[in-house]
Amino acid sequence: MKKLAIVATISAAIIGLSACSSGDSEVVVEMDQGNITKEEFYEELKAISGETVLHSMVYASILEDKYEVDNDHVDDQVELMREQYGDAFEMVLQQSGFASEDDYRKMLKLHLLEQEAFTEDIEVSDEEIQLRYDRLLTEIEASHILVADEELANDLHGQLLDGADFSELAQEHSMDPGSAAEGGQLGFFSAGDMVAEFENAAYELDVDEISEPVQSTHGWHIIKVTATRDSEREVDSFDDMKARLRTEIALPQVEETVATAKMRELLEGSNIKVNIDEFKDLFTFEDLPEVDDLDLE
């Protein structure tokens, strides 16, 4: 999804050139070897990446017409990235292909619009949203031991119950290179920072309590909560965050086939007609799954 969104941020380069095919021959580069016209530039761009960029432009226009994203949400995401990278923030943007922070914001907004589209048919209860919000108000400090198989996880759990030192076992056995050297310490986190299985288990533990082995996509975790505190992050009101939290809860349930089918539904419902001969069949859907054929629950 990110790749598609990134392409959309460079679409402005094509928009400004789209009228060139009508005979506009404005010179965009002058040099001793001969001039390059806007029309020549347009034709070259069209040949190299026209299909991808045109698809992205159409798709972005549909998303922006049908869905909304709170600008405060975009601001929050940018600030989180700025906090993560500090003084290297601008360099990271450039290395990722963004000419400016504004370009990154455009990509991020499109990415969030995609999330709205892909999750709108997934049911999320008010109770789930309230639980997510309540967790945002409390941060947890925890350590974990991550191993590949359940048998080893059960063995280590038994050793811990018999009094083994959690930090020593983490240093010896944990596959998580970021925390193993620190005795499994993960620092403080809040709702949405960890995979769902890990988060759900951690928030059920008391301080100094050790979990049963918990399976996630990363392997088997043994979790020990070491402290809790009120969130140090600014948390908006429940009403302001409700729509955002609903999307965050639903997003992990979106499978690739569901996302593809939703894209098909959006494109098919927009009466698209391409007036560029080589791209006239760009928006055909014979090979894409039907939305009605998929289970969106």
Within-domain flag for 33: yes
65 and 162 in a single domain? The answer is no
| 101 and 8 in a common domain | yes
Closest CA to 120 of 286, 291, 6: 291
Q: What is the mean pLDDT of residues 114-137?
A: 94
Q: How many Å apart are CA 135 and CA 120, to the nearest integer?
A: 23
Decide if 220 contacts 150 (C-beta within 8 A).
yes
Q: Which of 31-35, 78-82, 110-114, 182-186 has the highest mean pLDDT?
A: 182-186
Q: Mark whether 280 and 214 lie in a shared domain.
A: no
- Residues 6, 105 within the same domain: yes
Answer yes or no: do 60 and 163 share one domain.
Answer: no
Last residue of a domain, one of 215, 230, 245: 230
238 is a domain residue: no
**282 vs 242, higher pLDDT:** 242
Residue 189 backbone dihedrals phi, psi, to 5 degrees: -145, 170
What is the rounded CA–CA span in Å between residue 104 and residue 109? 9
Residues of the chain by 3-state class (helix, strand, coil), percent to 5 = 55, 10, 30
Confidence of residue 24 (pLDDT cuts 50, 70, 90): low
The answer to whether position 175 is within a domain reads: yes
**Average pLDDT estimate for 50-72:** 88
Q: How many folded domains does the chain comprise?
A: 2
Residue 288 has pLDDT above 50, yes or no: no
pLDDT at 77 > cutoff 50: yes
Of the two residues 46 and 138, the one the predictor is more confident about is 138
Q: How far is residue 156's CA from residue 47's CA, in Å, rounded to a whole number?
A: 59
Amino acid 53: pLDDT: 85
Q: What is the pLDDT of residues 189-212, one digit of tens each?
A: 999 889 989 999 999 999 999 999
The answer to whether position 48 is within a domain reads: yes
pLDDT average, residue stretch 49-63: 88
Instruction: Give me the sign of the Cα torsion angle 61, 62, 66, 67.
Output: negative
Interatomic CA distance for residues 214 and 223, integer angstroms:
8
* Average pLDDT over all residues of the chain: 85
Question: Residue 133: inside a domain, yes or no?
Answer: no
- Is 90 exceeded by the pLDDT of residue 158? yes
The answer to whether residues 210 and 160 touch, using CB atoms and an 8 Å cutoff, is: yes
Same domain, 24 and 71: yes
* Strand pairing class (27-29; 138-147): unpaired
162 and 86 in a single domain? The answer is no
Q: Is 74 exposed, middle or buried (0-12, 13-18, 19+ CB in 10 A)?
A: middle
Of 3-7, 89-93, 245-249, which gets the smallest average pLDDT? 3-7
Mean per-residue pLDDT, 77-94: 88
Same domain, yes or no: 180 and 88: no
Judge if 117 and 148 occupy the same domain. no
Note the pTM of the prediction, 2 decimals.
Answer: 0.66
Q: Are residues 32 and 97 in the same domain?
A: yes
What is the per-residue pLDDT for 14? 42
Q: Whole domain around residue 153: which residue ranges?
A: 140-230
Tokens 């869905």 sit at which residue? Answer: 67
Residues 72 and 163 placed together within one structural domain of the fold = no
Are residues 53 and 111 both part of a single domain? yes
| Domain annotation covers residue 126 | no
